[in-house]
Amino acid sequence: MSFEQFMYKGVRFSTKIHSEDSLSFEENEFEVFDDDVFNITYPKSGTNWMIEILNLIKHNGDATISQTVPINQRSPWCEAITFKDQVAKLTHPRFITSHLPYHLFAKSFSTSKAKIIYTIRNPKDIIVSLFYFVKTLSFFKANNNFQDSIDYFLQGKGMYGSWFDHIKSWMQIKGDSRFFFITYEELLKDRRGSVVRLCKFLGKELTDAQIDSVVEHSSFNSMKENKMSYWSDVKSEIVDQTKGSFLRKGVSGDWKNHFTVAQSEHFDKVYQERMKDLNMSFYWEQE
Ligand code: A3P
């Protein structure tokens, strides 16, 4: 598995969607406002799901925007080449997405009151999701060898670098009042409770009916039925959705259908070694 890439400050990026300029703009020039809300994830952790939820919360459960504006325009990626143009069109409060590790994130965040929502997912499920997703990307050379995907992930060869480094970088600010941490699995288990917690963090007071609407319109099936939720406007030269779906399965634990026992044991060994200094435990470590 490989892609057309370049390194920026030790992290791998795609020549198709990033550039030195776009990364430098985001890091050094982009001005963060106090009412900005950032949706941060490592790829395939539920990024688009969180965009959907946050936009519905922003609009008090009204799905009109979700059903008329493509998801990638509602909350654009601040590291992307397209961001400079997109950011000028965003209404406040701005909802912005990023896959960047903390050390490459906008410098002006540090002096702002902007909020960060960080979503993390079982890394074994990320590997599975990525295995299928890269087949749809024109700038990826994908293959059918699942072991390659595991090696690629464990060696940190992917776009945005190592998952372990990503988690560790953002966990440096986990005690900060501007930082909200949630797992993909919590969203699956209790979407309503998660929405209520998100509203509290964002200072949004929604009625029960408005919360119900957020929950309803962010379900896997609702998003699958909404063309604006799965990048249907993006040219097939970049993402070819005849080769796979953005909304593939939407479950937790699909890794069990893909990893052999030996692959899982090897993964766990590397995981334990790489995570031992983090001093946090996650539900999937008990699985
Ligand atoms: P799978 O490939 O395991 O199905 P990202 O947005 O970060 O690229 O993450 C994509 C993953 O989130 C995909 O996982 C996708 O199906 C899942 N996802 C997106 N919307 C979802 C929803 N409403 N409910 C559950 N999972 C969702």
Question: What atom in ligand 1 is closest to the CA of residue 48?
Answer: 6
Q: Decide which of 94 and 4 is more confident.
A: 94
Number of domains comprising the chain: 1
Q: Amino acid letter at 95?
A: F
Look at 52-56, 146-150, 275-279 and tell me which has the smallest mean pLDDT. 275-279
Is the pTM here over 0.75, yes or no?
yes
How high does pLDDT run on average in the chain?
95
250 lines ligand 1 (CB under 6 A): yes
Report the separation in Å between the CA atom of 18 and the middle of ligand 1, taken as the mean of its atom positions: 23
Q: Which two tokens stand for residue 178?
A: 């501007």
94 lines ligand 1 (CB under 6 A): no
Residues 172-199: tens digit of each pLDDT: 999 999 999 999 999 999 999 999 999 9
Is 92 noted as a catalytic residue in this protein? Answer: no
Residues 207-252: tens digit of each pLDDT: 999 999 999 999 999 999 999 998 888 888 788 888 998 899 999 9
Query: What would you report as the CA-atom Rg of the chain, rounded to the nearest whole angstrom?
Result: 18
218 lines ligand 1 (CB under 6 A): yes
- CATH number of the domain residue 227 falls in: 3.40.50.300
CB contact at 8 A, 14 and 162: no
CA separation, residue 238 to residues 94, 139, 140, 154, 197 (Å)? 26, 7, 10, 26, 36
Domain that holds residue 61: 2-286
Quote the pLDDT of residue 237: 76
Report the separation in Å between the CA atom of 120 and the middle of ligand 1, taken as the mean of its atom positions: 12
Average pLDDT over residues 142-161: 94
Long-range contacts of 64-72 (CB under 8 A, 24+ apart): 66/217, 66/226, 66/228, 66/229, 67/226, 67/228, 68/228, 69/228, 70/228, 70/231, 70/232, 70/233, 71/228, 71/229, 71/230, 71/231, 72/231, 72/233, 72/234
Residues 93-118: tens digit of each pLDDT: 999 999 999 999 999 999 999 999 99
CB contact at 8 A, 6 and 160: no
Residues 12-60: tens digit of each pLDDT: 999 999 999 999 999 999 999 999 999 999 999 999 999 999 999 999 9
229 lines ligand 1 (CB under 6 A): no
Q: Which two tokens stand for residue 92?
A: 């406040």
Residue 267 has pLDDT above 80, yes or no: yes
